Every structure is written in structure tokens, then in C-alpha cells.
Amino acid sequence: MSGGGFHVHGPHDHELEHATQAAAHGEHGGGMTNQIAMFTAIIATVGAIFAYMGGATQANAGLYKNNAALKKTEAANQWNYFQAKSTKQSLAEVSRDLTAREAEKEKYQAKIDRYEKEKGEIKVVAEKLEAEATEWDRKSDEQIHLHHRWAQATTVLQVAIAMAAIALLTRKKWLEYAMFAGGAIGVAIGGLALFHI
């Protein structure tokens, strides 16, 4: 109330003025609020990137596992072809051994030699396909491992964001420190995924 040239503040006016000045200077929680808000925004952004990377590695793992299955099927087809040639070779050997005429023996021996050569070529292709399948399986397993790392990092960052909200509500300094520690741990786990560790 003003009267005769001087001004009298009520108790609530003084407290409101003090709180406004403290917030402007970063005192009494204003700084903490700004700090937690900034932390939450940064960690949420990093967490979104980590979540995307986790989804991408999971998709890659599925794709690589599919490629491995296709290569295994191709290899199985080659081994079946190899087996068919082995059966034909065995029949040619029996026929050669049972025939009495020399000309027939030479004909069957030529088939046996041809089947042996073809089996060797088929075996090389089948083994190459099996090696490719094994490599695709290895790549899939690596992607799954990375997916788990990204998921772990994302989870830890989400926990840090939850701690930030609790720290903001309770004004507990130890929760603010825990929030920063959680954020650092989450980023470190994300770093492990980034470097394929």
C-alpha cells in the first residue's frame, strides 16, 4: 500500500519478488530446472537416435539371417545334386563291373570319370555356399548383439529421463546426480554399440 510517498509490501509480495530474482539469477531451483530441462531434451534426442539404431540393427539381423537361410538352401540343393551324381556314378561302376565286353567297360568308365569330375565341381560350389551361409549367420549374430547394446543404452537413457522428472519434482540433488550418471552410462553403452563392442 502506498500512502504519502512511501510504499509498503505485503509478505507475499516480498516472497514473490525474491523468487523472481532468484530464478533470473539461477538460484533456488531455477538453475536446477533449466539444467534438468536441457539434460532431458539432449538425452531424449540421443535416446531417439539409439532407438533408431536398435531398430536398424534388428532389421539387419533378420535380413542377414534370411540370406543365411537362402544360402543354406542353395547349398543343400548342391549337396542333393552331388548325391544324385554319386548314385549315377555307383550305377555306372556296377554296370562296368558286370559287363563282359571291353567296349562297354570303357563307356561306363568314361561316365564314372565324368561323374567324378562333376561331383568335384559341385562340391566346390556347395562348400562355397555353406561358407557364405556361415558368414551371413555370423553377421546376423553380430547385428543382434549390437541391437541388444542399443536397446540397453536406450533403456538406461529412459531411466535417466525418469530420474530427471523425479529430481525436478522432489528437488533432491542426489537424484540429479543419479540422473547425470544414468545419462553418462547410457551414452557409454551406446558408444560400445557404435564401436561394435
pLDDT one-digit tens code per residue, 131-167: 999 999 999 999 999 999 999 999 999 999 999 999 9
Measured distance CA(127)–CA(133) in Å, rounded? 10
Average pLDDT in the 115-119 region?
Answer: 97
Question: What pLDDT score was predicted for residue 24?
Answer: 55
User: 19 in a domain, yes or no?
Assistant: no
Average pLDDT in the 29-56 region?
Answer: 91
- Cβ neighbours of residue 164 closer than 8 Å, sequence gap 6 or more: 36, 39, 40, 43, 176, 179
User: 151 in a domain, yes or no?
Assistant: yes
User: 9 in a domain, yes or no?
Assistant: no
180 to 39, 84, 169, 184: CA distances (angstroms): 8, 66, 16, 6
Minimum mean pLDDT among 31-35, 81-85, 180-184, 188-192: which range? 31-35
How many domains would you assign to the chain? 1
pLDDT of 172 > 50? The answer is: yes
C-alpha closest to that of 78 among 121, 126, 118, 119: 126
Domain hosting residue 75, numbered range: 36-194
Task: Give residue 130's pLDDT band: very low, low, confident or very high (50, 70, 90).
Answer: very high
Q: How many CB atoms lie within 10 A of CB 71?
A: 20
List the helix and strand counts (H, then E) for the chain: 4, 2
Task: Give residue 100's pLDDT band: very low, low, confident or very high (50, 70, 90).
Answer: confident
User: 158 in a domain, yes or no?
Assistant: yes
User: 76 in a domain, yes or no?
Assistant: yes
User: For the whole model, what pTM was predicted?
Assistant: 0.73
Measured distance CA(68)–CA(63) in Å, rounded? 9
Per the structure block, which three cell numbers stand in for 10?
505485503
Per the structure block, which three cell numbers stand in for 107?
563307356
User: 128 in a domain, yes or no?
Assistant: yes
